Structure 1
Amino acid sequence: MLPTETVTITAEALRSFATDLFVAAKVPVSEATLVASSLVDANLCGHESHGVVRVAEYIGYLERGEVRAGVELQVVTRTASLLVCDGQFGFGQVQMRRLIELLEPMAREQGLACGTIRRCGHVGRLGEWVEQVVRSNLAGLMSVNDNGVLMCVAPPGGVEPRLSTNPIALGVPTAAEPLVLDISTSVVANGKVRVAAVAGRECPAGWLLDANGQPTNDPTARFLDPPATILPMGGYKGFGLGLLLDILTGGLSGGFCPPAPEGEVECNNVLLIVLDPARFSGLEHFVIQSQGLCEFVRSTKPVDPNAEIRLPHDRSRQTSTERRASGVPLDHGTWNQLTECA
């Protein structure tokens, strides 16, 4: 296959293929199915950086013992509205599903519940988990750090990386579809740079600075020693947000912020806050406000009369609808990785 070519595969076939690859790596079928479905969902939404490009990476983690299949989510501390958990290096998608199942009834009882996980595998796309919460008529806020090991964002004016991309996702129910915002606090997720490197294409201007602090479009520079760094979103605003999220997530979970102690490994630490609008001003009032604001925003006159005003998650939802009908496109690098795993 030439570097510019792509292969298109149905979501169901891709899900089955990815599941089989995990099962072959001795992952229990239930976990393999959940993880594969999560990755394919990311591809459907157009977030290739968190899609099946991760399959080979996850299998590598398993082979090196950095991720463990079939482990429980260990509850370390529990109160009426608080959970502190140890993921025991289990698959992030599996442990996130378990955390949400524990937190949702607590939030309904108390109005608010907060949970953390330390030592967790890569959780995938944060928006998936927040959307799951929102579909239960709850609101959610989630953040993740990389245990102080993976650093790829330098402070403005600096050359050496000091933070990870430290994503945050927020979601609320409306009278229509869930409103979900899922962003990294850098201009782009590290996974998107990885996808560009695997596909053999350049990064857009404004993503990366090389090891000397100069702009570069070469995604492979990100994985050199010393590495290129990813620019923070919005300069100091994004860097400041990422800094505080790192402290809250690493500090509250019992994980680490940069620089991690000697011997610590890369993993995800998670902070998830779930709120029940019904226990505050009431779900009906909340939804009237959320839906009203969404409609008010959409009603603004567009600069381009042929364009629509988009809200967070609109594009992902539209892409998912299109790809469920036409199939999921995979670049040559990702497809080759998958077939090599087989």
Structure 2
Amino acid sequence: MDPYDPKSLEAEAQEFWADNGVFEVDEDPARESYYCLCMFPYPSGKLHIGHVRNYTIGDVISRFKRMLGYNVLQPMGWDAFGMPAENAAIKNNVPPARWTYQNIDYMRGQLKLLGFGYDWKRELATCKPEYYRWEQWLFTRLMEKGIAYKKTAPVNWCPVDQTVLANEQVIEGRCWRCDTEVERREIAQWFLKITDYADELLSDLDKVEWPEQVKTMQRNWIGRSEGMEVEFEVPGHDSLMIYTTRPDTLYGATFMAIAAEHPLALKAAEQNPEVAEFIEACRKTNTSEAALEKMEKLGMAIGINAVNPVNGEQIPIWIANFVLMGYGTGAIMSVPGHDQRDWEFARK
């Protein structure tokens, strides 16, 4: 039996695929369609083993569906319009456009050598005007409908990449890309009113054939809940507004917990260096759900009390590292008798 010679055999097969448009696809009403989209890579240099893993999985699924008779569309593109790519170009003293397109050419060649079945005639790059003009068009429509809005909110900020990081991109308080210590900053950002569509999004999850684990993640992300807002008076200061799904537990509230970025916390920090130091430590904390669940719950009293509206009791206000300004009002009422996390925190 002749040994397998990948260089000659694969090159011949790939040439045949390209010449005959094997993976190019057009609409065909007579066949069932299947769309397989893997996350577009950043054109940051070269593919690594993580790319190979991800795109192999997508390609296997696409080929399997083709064997079942589906009309399969598997496109490829480049997530090419971010600050990390621009900073890398500046670091290498190369114009960002040249840097980006050179990397795209190189990585495209790598993907073709791997033999993935992409419809290359549909290739796109997010930095090209013919692509982002449609992003701009869509955004202006969202603005007109009142769905897009701007507000100030805390973010994870990488001072080296000069960009915002998702919670999952903060690893032990540092940037996943450059290992720089991440800062928490309050900046103006754009938001979309996803909550306006919460009911529809939740009900339509029952219509998709997704793993139950993925559906659960989506339900948690949509975050629809039913409850009420309650106002706690704070003598000498603005009142605290909280949201609770359990108004029946108001009598059991023994303390209030606020986020490190809450205006009341920042005001207290002006008078107390220890509070300021604690707030700074909180700003370096990974705020992903997984990290918040596992980390030690820490807090500091700010020497100010709130008034329970149902019984008039004075209850202390604490800054807590598990309360985030970007969720709800940035303040919660804590009821140790009905909440495990509150109970563990109160025991300290």
* TM-score greater than 0.5 by the shorter chain: no
Q: When the two structures are superposed, what TM-score results if normalisation uses the length of structure 2?
A: 0.23
Larger Rg: 2
Using CA pairs below 8 Å that are at least 6 residues apart, which structure has the higher relative contact order?
Answer: 1
Relative to the length of structure 1, the TM-score reads 0.23
